Amino acid sequence: MSIRFVLLETFVLVARSGSMKDAARLLSVTPGAISQRIRLLEETVGHRLFVRSRAGVRLDARGVAMFSALDGPLRAIESVDRSLSARPSSRVAVSTVASFAANWLVPRLGRFARLHPDIEIVVETGGRLVDLRREPVDVAIRHGLGGYAGLQSVRLVAPELIVVASPDLLKSGRPIAEPADCLAYPLLHDLDRGDWSLWFEANGVAATKRLKGASFSDDHLLVRAAVAGQGLALVRDVYAEGDLVSRRLVKALDIGWPTRFAYYAVTRPERELKPAVRQFRKWLIEEAEESRG
């Protein structure tokens, strides 16, 4: 029987503290994720390991035996971990799409550099889904539903589709008071040309099946076209954040459309043994919480 290391580590941390909440804080995950790991471990070994109560959790007899076998080896690993964290520099390779890097991640990296000057962040972008098991990537920031078999994932931000335009473009045209008014302007599209049609449908607007306007393979290019005054763009709010703050773009209509998907920081469990990766992942979570207000 093979048991994933992350489950054993989680078990030991919960056993030490007697609290799933405290273990969640140490591992930078949610208490729900800790509970799920413990349940999976108990299903794997075929019996309960903890007694649950309102005061927290405590080990039962079998749990005590397992803890006695695991606590010492994990402390040895933690000792090595601490010695590695004392090294003067570390490197974290990050993979994500160009749009997220340009509009959310890169503008914030200066803060990380000030907090952790000895950690080197290497950002690689592209539309290809990297294989974290085979490629030298520590953290992948992926857009999806968060279910990645055998990998650790934590939810960062869930973008909302908003309508943006340059202030000059809006001054030159008719006022936009409701979704149907957007049809009077040039529309900028994603490569699949599906977002506007779905947005109009969701807002009860009968629009032609083939809406005219330029399309772009990358959301970053879509935002740049909107800044240049080429039309209205329906984009994820995180991609337009900097341009909205600087007023190069404004919301043309204050109607949002939350998407099903979110951006997740995804890692292999063993990568989190690397102190720099843990620091970067923890910082991503903090930045995401701050951006959500």
Report if pTM > 0.75: no
**CA distances for 191 relative to 101, 119, 215, angstroms:** 19, 36, 5
| Delimiting residues of CATH 1.10.10.10 domain(s) in the chain | 5-85
**Which pLDDT score is estimated for 83?**
66
CA separation for the pair 78, 80 (Å, rounded): 5
267 backbone φψ class: left, alpha, beta (φ>0; ψ -120 to 50): beta
Helices 237-245, 219-227: inter-axial angle, 10-degree rounding:
30
Classify domain 90-155+261-291 at the CATH topology level: D-Maltodextrin-Binding Protein; domain 2 (3.40.190)
**Which pLDDT score is estimated for 279?**
93
CA separation for the pair 249, 237 (Å, rounded): 11
Cβ neighbours of residue 40 closer than 8 Å, sequence gap 6 or more: 7
Residue type (1 letter), 264: Y
| Delimiting residues of CATH 3.40.190.10 domain(s) in the chain | 90-155+261-291, 160-258
Q: Which CATH number fits domain 160-258: 3.10.129.10, 3.40.190.10, 3.20.20.140, 1.10.3470.10?
A: 3.40.190.10
**CA distances for 190 relative to 178, 214, 219, 289, angstroms:** 22, 9, 7, 28
Classify domain 5-85 at the CATH topology level: Arc Repressor Mutant, subunit A (1.10.10)
CA separation for the pair 112, 135 (Å, rounded): 24
**Which pLDDT score is estimated for 88?**
43
pLDDT along the chain (293 residues), means of 10: 84 90 83 90 91 86 92 86 60 90 91 93 86 89 85 89 95 93 93 84 79 87 95 91 94 78 89 89 93 70
